[in-house]
């Protein structure tokens, strides 16, 4: 069962962004305040970057 | 943890529900696995690659997925799905021609080499019809046209786009259907599960808000989905189908890096889509 492990600040609005303890590098988190998409760049130490914009050829 | 280099890799720049589930399933099975970010990947032609010998391609970008598969295969790495399957699945025209060549039911489709030729092709297909980009997913830029004036406007916009590929126009006769389509997940030649994807919009992509509901796998649906996946050479496939009011099934497309969140959630614990993919990856690594 995942539990909140840590909290990082949103790079856009500084709001608190909670992380689950099973987060993985490359996972996308959404800021609960401004809805900005943030990418997990590093789990240890915890570090977020702005997620890339969706590109035209993205999909499945 | 073993000190040996992982024999398995999962290639993904964006870790969604699916990638996270697959990585967790591989860990539960005790498989040492390396998560590979293709944004940091480069492969020198003719040189060996020190990475895993079997790689699951889960890259979200089609072109990056296609060329990553090609680059890794050039080093002797086994990639699921293969470059060939990714090329066919990622291009709607190639998918259509493969399905037609196999004799599988699929909507009547025409490729027009210019927007002007597309208007004439639409006249022959009849309205309503659907204009789709050759490459793209999630229903993006798929446009339903109901008359020549609307089609001319859409095609004028296509002609104004800078990419030469945008001027190659894929047009398809609209299939009368209920407010839903069907997604079948096929892994290793076996149908793992199916969902109806229901929407009050005409596009029934989950990415556009469609709701997934469990769909029973009957023999006809299973056989057609497995045949479609086999036709495009996909070990792992999300086969999208429509059923007309008379019950006839037709294959719309085959997705090579299939999203299965809705399918998994609609089945609860009755199926484990990620584990099915993990099991296939491990089996292929041992083959």
- pLDDT tens track for B56-105: 999 999 999 999 999 999 999 999 999 999 999 999 999 999 999 999 99
- The pLDDT, as a whole number, for residue B139 is 86
- Residue B165 in this model has a pLDDT that exceeds 80: yes
What's the whole-number mean pLDDT along residues A31-42?
96
Long-range contacts made by residues B141-144, C-beta under 8 angstroms, separation at least 24?
B142/B203, B144/B174, B144/B202
The pLDDT-based confidence of B151 (bands split at 50, 70, 90) is very high
Chain B residues within 8 A of A21 when measuring between CB atoms: none
Is residue A59 in some structural domain?
no
Is residue A16 in some structural domain?
yes
Q: What is residue B174's DSSP assignment?
A: P
The pLDDT-based confidence of A3 (bands split at 50, 70, 90) is low
Long-range contacts made by residues B222-225, C-beta under 8 angstroms, separation at least 24?
B222/B184, B222/B191, B224/B104, B224/B105, B224/B249, B224/B251, B225/B184, B225/B186, B225/B191, B225/B194, B225/B251
Distance CA B58, CA B11 (A): 5
Strand partners, B36: B11
Give chain B's end-to-end CA distance (angstroms, integer): 23
Query: By C-alpha distance, which of A24, A28, A20, A31 is closest to A53?
Result: A28
CA atoms within 13 A on the CB side of B254: 33
Question: Where residue A13 sits, what CATH number does that domain have?
Answer: 2.20.28.160
B138 touches chain A (CB under 8 A): yes
Q: Is the CB of A60 less than 8 angstroms away from the CB of B14?
A: no
Q: Are B38 and B19 in contact (CB under 8 A)?
A: no
pLDDT tens digits, one per residue of B223-256: 999 999 999 999 999 999 999 888 999 999 999 9
Q: Is the CB of B35 less than 8 angstroms away from the CB of A28?
A: no
- The pLDDT, as a whole number, for residue A2 is 54
Is residue A32 in some structural domain?
yes
- The pLDDT, as a whole number, for residue A4 is 62
Q: What is residue B193's DSSP assignment?
A: E
Q: Are B271 and B264 in contact (CB under 8 A)?
A: yes
Is residue A58 in some structural domain?
no
- The pLDDT, as a whole number, for residue B3 is 44
Is residue A25 in some structural domain?
yes
Is residue A60 in some structural domain?
no
Is residue A28 in some structural domain?
yes
**Which residue range(s) make up the domain with A9?**
4-50
What's the whole-number mean pLDDT along residues B188-199?
95
Q: What percent of chain B has pLDDT over 70?
A: 98
ipTM confidence score:
0.89
With a CB cutoff of 8 Å and minimum separation 6, the contacts of B49 are B43, B72, B75, B76, B77
Q: Is the CB of B16 less than 8 angstroms away from the CB of A56?
A: no
Domains, in order of start, for chain B: 108-173 (3.30.1490.20), 180-269 (3.30.470.20)
Q: Is the CB of B136 less than 8 angstroms away from the CB of A25?
A: no
Query: By C-alpha distance, which of B63, B254, B82 is closest to B165?
Result: B63
- The pLDDT, as a whole number, for residue B1 is 41
Work out how many domains chain A is built from and give that number.
1
Write down the pTM of the prediction: 0.94
């Amino acid at each position: 069962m995942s539990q909140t492990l840590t909290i990082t600040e949103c790079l856009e609005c500084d709001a608190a962004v909670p992380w689950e303890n099973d987060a993985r590098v490359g996972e996308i988190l959404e800021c609960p305040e401004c809805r900005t998409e943030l990418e997990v760049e590093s789990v240890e130490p915890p570090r977020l970057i702005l997620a890339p914009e969706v590109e035209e050829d993205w999909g499945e | 943890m073993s000190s040996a280099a992982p024999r398995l890799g999962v290639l993904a720049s964006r870790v969604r529900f699916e990638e996270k589930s697959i990585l967790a399933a591989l860990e539960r099975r005790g498989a040492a696995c390396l998560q590979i970010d293709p944004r940091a990947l480069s492969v020198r032609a003719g040189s060996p690659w020190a990475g895993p010998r079997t790689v699951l391609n889960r890259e979200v970008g089609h072109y990056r997925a296609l060329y990553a598969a090609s680059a890794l295969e050039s080093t002797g790495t086994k990639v699921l799905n293969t470059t060939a399957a990714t090329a066919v699945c990622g291009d709607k025209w190639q998918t259509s021609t493969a399905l037609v060549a196999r004799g599988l039911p699929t909507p009547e489709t025409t490729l027009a080499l210019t927007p002007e030729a597309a208007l004439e092709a639409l006249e022959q297909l009849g309205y309503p019809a659907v204009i789709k980009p050759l490459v793209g997913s999630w229903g993006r830029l798929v446009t339903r046209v109901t008359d020549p004036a609307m089609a001319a406007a859409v095609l004028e916009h296509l002609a104004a786009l800078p990419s030469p590929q945008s001027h190659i126009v894929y047009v398809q006769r609209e299939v009368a259907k209920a407010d839903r389509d069907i997604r079948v997940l096929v892994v290793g030649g076996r149908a793992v599960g199916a969902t109806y994807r229901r929407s009050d919009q005409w596009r029934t992509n989950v990415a556009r808000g469609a709701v997934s509901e469990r769909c029973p796998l009957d023999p006809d649906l299973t056989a057609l989905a497995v045949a479609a996946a086999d036709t495009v050479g996909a070990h792992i496939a999300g086969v999208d189908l429509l059923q007309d009011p008379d019950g006839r099934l037709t294959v719309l497309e085959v997705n090579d890096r299939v999203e299965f969140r809705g399918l998994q959630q609609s089945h609860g614990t009755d199926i484990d889509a990620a584990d099915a993919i993990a099991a296939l990856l491990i089996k292929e690594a041992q083959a």
